[in-house]
A and B are shown apart, each in its own frame.
Chain A
Amino acid sequence: MISYAILGITFLYVVIQIIIYALRQRKPLTRDDIDERLLAALNGGDHAGK
């Protein structure tokens, strides 16, 4: 019985991971997004003009 319980937990864990991956894949990040966020964080959001 314990072995089925562990298998069940494994199954749930895999399902959750796959859902997380799929959700992230639906709104993919681009390098431009990351670049913009980084520059905004470093320069207080006033980098756009330069």
Chain B
Amino acid sequence: MTKDISTAEPGLFQQVFYGTKPDDPKLYTRAASYYFPNSPRTFNILKIPVHAVVVQAISSPVANAVGVLSNVTADVTYYIYPNGKIYVHSVLQVAAAQTASEWRCATLGLSDPTSGDPYSGPDSTGWIRSSTTQNPYSSVSAPESYIFAYWRASTTPAPYTNFTKASVLLVPRPGNPNQGQQGRHNWGGWKRWYYGNVSLNLSARTEPGPGLPDTTRHSGEFRASEYQQQCRGEPHCPGVLRRSDATACARPRRHSPPRAASSMFH
């Protein structure tokens, strides 16, 4: 297997598109700088209020060295709280009509040296991908209201037994029309845990998307979706996953721990 850093696809929050031209572009990939350094991309620090850091990333998906899906622009805003909660607001916009057979709209990417390639069964080592009703996750036909992953040391062989003790939880906002269906994907050394299976059929329109200046974003139809992520240094596992963790996905919270967010930013 080739480990080509030029096409690396890291991303704690990632989006992937299938059935497009170019096909299979990723919103976040090292190929953007290796092969398309002039493709527009913007990062804005919107706000550093008392309780959260708010940042915004705007870019178009890239398919390795093949091309940029420049018709599509993803505008992703992160509200990052000191306790590890991250509220994600994603707006997808197109300049001209755009279809995709599948849009993986919210993907967690997890480094896992124990991951096989391919690997289709429920996780037994490393990151254990789980959902509202299954731990570990095997298959559920209906969309689950949340997905999470934690590192299970008790069944993970050395030298990776204590690779991490962290966990991550992804909760689509209730009523999110683009939630999609949960799914897993593996490479050697890498696991993905995502909501996808959402088809896109976006039409071109001349009016701008909401809140966007028409001088810069003469956009077509848009799709918005919202999520909450929780990253923390202890496992989410049965009996530990707090109900409030999974049900609190909504608008950015007004009440947060009394730690000044201004000290978080470097």
Q: Do A and B bind each other?
A: no
